[in-house]
């Protein structure tokens, strides 16, 4: 389940680079003790398992420990499990992984975890050193040492460093990996915490630099200061040397808004301040804040993703937009001169317009150019746009990789036209290149192989959904596979929040599944972003069933091709993907031989009353209204029928998940267990929404899932 975009504190690492360099199992669209659920609706039927919504209660945790012990006894007691867990842990801890970096001033920073540094090191080096096979690193913050000294369990959430000298950083740390965190000021010259510096208590929110002595702060200021979604409702300007209680209100949203934030753009020559009001996913307002504190609304559609870079306002449209006598289709990227737009002009240039096969994956600015990353049938293609007196010039990106998933991010948009480029697919380890636009990319790093990929090959197929829609999916299968329907096959999916699933190298999947001879498939179902806003919007609210019909169509296609059969076909998904697999479990049980449901939503009658659930009503609807008529058709907790047969199931979640409440998994487990179904459960005490707080925990949970799936789907002989 994603965070609202404004909730993503500026971090030390580019998300695109990080995703391309990952070696773990597929990520879920990745604070203080998770709060309990809000009060139930007056008219809601009695729920005998609602007591499990008390996250940290003694009785509840005793129930969790009992379930965990049963799962461990079944899955984790064998030498084979220990071997797999150790192999995955060695992959995650490998010194040979590519250290993704972010340029901060003259240095290149990386956050690194391995066996000796379970919580991690924030470290830096020079570009000259980084080019070497074994760079010399200077440790800036040792999180394991900090935890030992303070008796804490901090998990790294990122650092926001003040331009142009980069002498001070605002470092975010989370207890156990939850979304809520603290922010502490750090002195980069002495590599020490600033005594009496800026400090934000544990909550969802952030601090952001304005200048050395002023920050924006949006956090929990006390009763009434958070939205119904559990995010900040008020943003203030806080001056050094004064108590946070004296901070001055910049903007105050409404209780039913989603997230309020402000940020300072410190681009040289274009310094500006902005306020962001997120009403819901895909619905936000943006304001320019004047020197006197007045706010001027950027009068662009609420549904558009809005960004300002130097002279330009760029809009990524999610709905058609009429401006200047023209209509720009949904999925387009358009640009106008920012000052002209604020003065009332509506003259836009179309930078990208989607087709039935293409969508905009991302874009990144360099000093003089804009690089577009486009998906064409879930395959990346890069191009370069350059603004000039005569308009925007367009050309292909010279030397761009021609295979797999490509990620591109600027190295330093203020100072250079250099970009990082990553390339990977399911069988090819990631490469990291450095490219000056206009020149051939220089390969800097190549990840080693973590499993034998020579035995498998990648294919793309299209399944036909119930309404005739062609749904792409990727297939990683053994070469020369005998099509007799007996091959253990793992199908993964997400299908929500306009998040695309593109090919990526996973050492865990390779070691835990492919090397055993299994087939791995990834479904690009509606609800995702593979074909832009239209693909996402096709499965919203009352059309949610289309995402599940798509996934079922992919499953049937795998079966019809005799790649596998229901008793050999397993599925896995987390967060919104956990809602997906929960619906597969309850609506299509005959198609599957095993189901893994991770950090899921399942009780869709109460999801909006638990933790951050209210923020997702734009995706699913509001159960307190007539929306419940369609929501109940995809609420696995209510669709469960004790008289039906269901495939063996594993639920996993985290006590520290303060985004998706662990009670979803707890209650579904309890209901199925009481009905005598073949079900097991594992709840990690740390880990937040990602499920694990360090590599050891991640390896353990990955090994549990792979062991369960292989035990259920493989031929015992």
Positions annotated as catalytic residues are 575, 689
To the nearest 10°, report the CA torsion of 535, 662, 36, 235. -40
Q: Which helix (H) or strand (E) holds 150?
A: helix 143-150
The enclosing H or E element of 86 equals: helix 79-93
Q: Concatenated DSSP letters for 537-552?
A: HTTSGGGTHHHHHHHH
From 183, 117, 113, select the one nearest 145 (Cα to Cα): 117
Distance CA 141, CA 122 (A): 5
Find where tokens 């073949």 sit: 678
Tokens 């761009």 -> residue: 400
Structure tokens at 526: 């509606």
Collapsing DSSP states into helix, strand and coil, what is residue 435? strand
Beta bridge partners of 216: 208, 237
Read off the tokens for 372.
């577009």
Tokens of 454: 């020579």
Q: List CB contacts of 118: < 8 A, sequence separation 6 or more.
A: 144, 694, 695, 696
Measured CA to CA, the distance from residue 653 to residue 60 in angstroms comes to 14
- Of 477, 497, 479, residue with least CA distance to 487: 477
Sheet with 259-265: list strands edge to edge: 259-265, 272-280, 283-289, 295-297
Per the CB < 8 A criterion, the answer to whether 589 and 646 are in contact is yes
**How far apart, in whole angstroms, are the C-alpha atoms of residue 603 and residue 45?**
13
Burial label for 39, CB within 10 Å (0-12, 13-18, 19+), is: exposed
Distance (Å, whole) CA 527 – CA 539: 5
Find how far residue 122's CA is from the centre of its chain: 21
Cβ neighbours for 148, distance < 8 A, ≥ 6 positions apart: none
Distance in angstroms (rounded) separating the CA atoms of residues 581 and 657: 19
């Amino acid at each position: 389940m994603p965070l609202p975009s404004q909730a993503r504190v500026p971090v030390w690492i580019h998300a695109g680079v990080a995703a391309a360099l990952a070696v773990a199992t597929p990520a879920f669209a990745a604070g203080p003790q998770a709060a309990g659920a809000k009060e139930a609706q007056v008219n809601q039927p009695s729920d005998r398992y609602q007591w499990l919504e008390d996250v940290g209660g003694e009785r509840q945790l005793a129930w969790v420990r009992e379930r965990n012990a049963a799962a461990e006894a079944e899955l984790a007691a064998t030498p084979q499990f220990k071997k797999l867990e150790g192999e995955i842990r060695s992959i995650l801890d490998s010194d040979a992984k590519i250290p993704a970096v972010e340029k901060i001033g003259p240095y290149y920073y990386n956050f690194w975890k391995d066996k000796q540094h379970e919580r991690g090191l924030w470290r830096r080096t020079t570009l000259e050193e980084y080019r070497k096979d074994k760079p010399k690193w200077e440790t800036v913050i040792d999180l394991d040492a900090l935890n030992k000294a303070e008796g804490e369990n901090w998990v790294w959430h990122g650092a926001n460093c003040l331009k142009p000298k980069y002498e001070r950083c605002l470092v975010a740390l989370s207890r156990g990996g939850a979304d809520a965190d603290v922010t502490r000021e750090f002195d980069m010259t002495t590599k020490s915490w600033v005594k009496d510096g800026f400090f934000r208590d544990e909550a969802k929110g952030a601090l952001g630099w304005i200048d050395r002595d002023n920050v924006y702060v949006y956090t929990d200021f006390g009763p009434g200061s958070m939205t119904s979604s559990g995010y900040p409702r008020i943003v203030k300007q806080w001056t050094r040397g004064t108590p946070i209680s004296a901070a001055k209100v910049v903007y105050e949203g409404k209780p039913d808004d989603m997230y309020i934030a402000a940020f300072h753009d410190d681009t040289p020559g274009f310094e500006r301040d902005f306020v962001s009001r997120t009403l819901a996913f895909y619905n936000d307002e943006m304001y320019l804040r004047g020197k006197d504190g007045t706010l001027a609304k950027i009068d662009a559609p609420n549904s558009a993703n809005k960004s300002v870079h130097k002279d330009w306002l760029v809009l990524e449209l999610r709905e058609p937009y009429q401006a200047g006598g023209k209509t720009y289709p949904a999925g387009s990227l358009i640009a106008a001169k920012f000052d002209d737009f604020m003065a009332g002009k509506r003259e836009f240039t179309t930078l990208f317009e989607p087709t039935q096969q293409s969508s905009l994956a991302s874009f990144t600015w360099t000093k003089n150019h804009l690089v577009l990353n486009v998906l064409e049938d879930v395959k990346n293609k890069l191009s370069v746009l350059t603004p000039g007196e005569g308009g925007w010039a367009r050309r292909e990106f010279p030397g761009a990789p021609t295979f797999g998933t490509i990620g591109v991010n600027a190295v330093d948009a203020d100072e250079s036209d250099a970009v990082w480029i990553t390339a990977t697919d399911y069988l090819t380890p990631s490469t990291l290149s450095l490219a000056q636009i206009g020149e051939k990319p220089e390969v800097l790093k190549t990840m080693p192989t973590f499993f034998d990929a020579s035995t498998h090959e990648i294919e793309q197929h299209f399944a036909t959904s119930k309404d005739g829609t062609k749904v792409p999916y990727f297939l990683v299968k053994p070469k020369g596979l005998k099509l007799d329907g007996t091959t253990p096959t793992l199908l993964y999916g997400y299908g929500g929040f306009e998040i695309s699933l593109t090919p990526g190298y996973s050492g865990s999947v390779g070691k835990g599944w492919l090397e055993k001879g299994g087939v791995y498939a990834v479904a690009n179902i509606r609800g995702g972003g593979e074909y832009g806003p239209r693909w996402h919007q096709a499965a919203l609210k009352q059309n949610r069933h289309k995402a599940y019909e798509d996934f079922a169509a992919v499953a049937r296609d795998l079966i019809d091709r005799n790649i596998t059969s229901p008793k050999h076909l397993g599925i896995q998904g987390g967060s919104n993907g956990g809602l997906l697999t929960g619906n597969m479990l309850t609506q299509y049980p005959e198609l599957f031989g095993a189901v893994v449901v991770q950090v899921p939503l399942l009780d869709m009658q109460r999801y909006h009353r638990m933790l951050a659930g209210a923020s997702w009503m734009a995706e699913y609807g509001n159960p307190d209204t007539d929306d419940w008529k369609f929501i109940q058709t995809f609420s696995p907790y209510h669709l469960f029928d004790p008289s039906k047969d269901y495939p063996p199931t594993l639920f996993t979640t985290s006590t520290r998940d303060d985004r998706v409440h662990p009670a979803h998994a707890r209650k579904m487990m309890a209901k199925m267990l009481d009905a005598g179904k073949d079900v097991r459960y594992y709840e990690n005490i740390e880990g937040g929404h990602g499920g694990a707080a360090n590599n050891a925990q991640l390896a353990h949970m990955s090994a549990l899932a792979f062991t369960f799936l292989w035990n259920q789907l493989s031929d015992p002989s």
